[in-house]
């Protein structure tokens, strides 16, 4: 166990990465000496890289798909009713009963406010 303050001076305990590694080695040596279990510390690695995260976002981009369909509909529709009919043909659900119009890609839970 390691306290965050020095009990004599009450100053903050300052450490760097090397100090922590040295304390882990000392703890392991003492645990081995008394027959206690030594905690295995696997090398830490990052979960996902930024590149993998961007690929993931590109695969599930409901927002981009909805936006592309909305742009297509705005260019090819003449009236609001025509817009809603063509939207349903493109599997895009339009809900205009609330304060904001929401668009839902059928088969997903993602919505986009207008």
Greatest extent of the chain over all pairs of C-alpha atoms, in Å: 82
Host H or E run for residue 112 = strand 111-113
What is the 8-class DSSP label of residue 11?
A: P
- The pLDDT tens digits for 65-77 are 888 999 999 999 9
Which stretches in the chain have pLDDT values below 50? none
Q: What is the pLDDT of residue 2?
A: 64
CA-based torsion, 96, 97, 100, 105: positive or negative? negative
CB 87 within 8 A of CB 71: no
Q: What is the pLDDT of residue 71?
A: 95
């Amino acid at each position: 166990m390691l306290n965050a303050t020095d009990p004599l001076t009450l100053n903050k305990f300052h450490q760097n990465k090397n100090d922590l590694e040295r304390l882990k080695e000392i703890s392991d040596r003492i645990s081995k000496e008394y027959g206690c279990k030594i905690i295995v510390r696997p090398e830490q690695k990052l979960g996902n890289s930024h590149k993998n995260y961007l690929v993931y976002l590109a695969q599930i981009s409901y927002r981009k798909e909805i936006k592309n369909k909305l742009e297509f509909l705005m260019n090819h529709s003449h009236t609001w009713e025509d817009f809603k009919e063509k939207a349903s043909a493109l599997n895009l659900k339009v809900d205009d009963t609330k304060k904001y119009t929401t668009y839902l890609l059928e088969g997903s839970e993602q919505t986009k406010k207008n």
